[in-house]
Amino acid sequence: MNLLLVGDIVGDPGRRILSQHLHVIKHQYQIDLAVGNAENAAGGFGVTPKIADELFSMGFDILTSGNHIWDKKEIVDYIRDQPHLLRPANYPDGTPGRGQAVVVLPSGDKVGVLHLMGRVYMPASLDCPFRVGRREVEKLRTETSLILVDMHGEATSEKSAIGWYLDGEVSAVFGTHTHVQTADERILPNGTAFLTDVGMTGPTASVIGVKKEEAITKFLTQMPKKFETATGPAILCGAVVEVDRSSGRATAVHRIRITDP
């Protein structure tokens, strides 16, 4: 079984390159379940119902998010009714939406997707991702051993620690949020695939997706600055994990990196 996670989709450039390549990736890697991180899909900040529906129509089975999930207020009602758009599971009790989902594939296999968010250098007041992660994994394992975790976080140390903490309990822990793909893909000793960050799907001539001139100005002046998504050529970053159906253990992990010509 092959599971795909596409990293932080940023604005129009990210959605455009996905529309060109997602179906090709799914065919090439014989993807059984496709997950995309959509928290930056609407102009770089948040996701709207219309854009979420667009991404689902491209072929994603699950959309994850992160600290920008509430940037577009119209998403609040949508996320209550759409179980396949996830917000981090370690938001406090009572927050709209869900932090995990189980998808039944045409084969009859069940795959669980869990979404967590780190607390190091992150703006939201969240519950402990380790304790919540363990609790939610135990729930998911009552239904399936095939579990993919999107760990949305700033600190590489925190994402690495989550990978080791859940090693052997889930099929893969893939990091998102930094928009920079790392080169440390591996399978941990007890069978969990890990990658610190799967990277960004968005404009290449940018500073992690935003117009480079605006980012440089903010660094030079230290003044507040409203960022806009950059335009132009794009990159598509993601990761695929091959999983043994019977055990839920990863057998291989591959990074994906496609750029516009």
- Taking the C-alpha atoms of residue 17 and residue 11, their distance in angstroms, rounded to an integer, is 11
**Long-range CB contacts for residues 76-80, cutoff 8 Å, separation at least 24:** 78/49, 78/52
Asked about 254 being catalytic, the answer comes back as: no
Residue-wise DSSP of 48-103: -HHHHHHHHHHT-SEEE--TTTTSSTTHHHHHHH-TTBB--TTSPTT-SSBSEEEE
**8 A C-beta contact, residue 144 and residue 111:** yes
From 21, 68, 115, 177, active-site residue? 68
**Which token pair is 78?**
């949508």
- Taking the C-alpha atoms of residue 247 and residue 147, their distance in angstroms, rounded to an integer, is 11
- Taking the C-alpha atoms of residue 112 and residue 123, their distance in angstroms, rounded to an integer, is 27
Among 68, 27, 30, CA closest to 47: 68
Q: Residue 93 class from Cβ within 10 Å (0-12 exposed, 13-18 middle, 19+ buried)? A: exposed
Question: Which residues are identified as catalytic?
Answer: 68
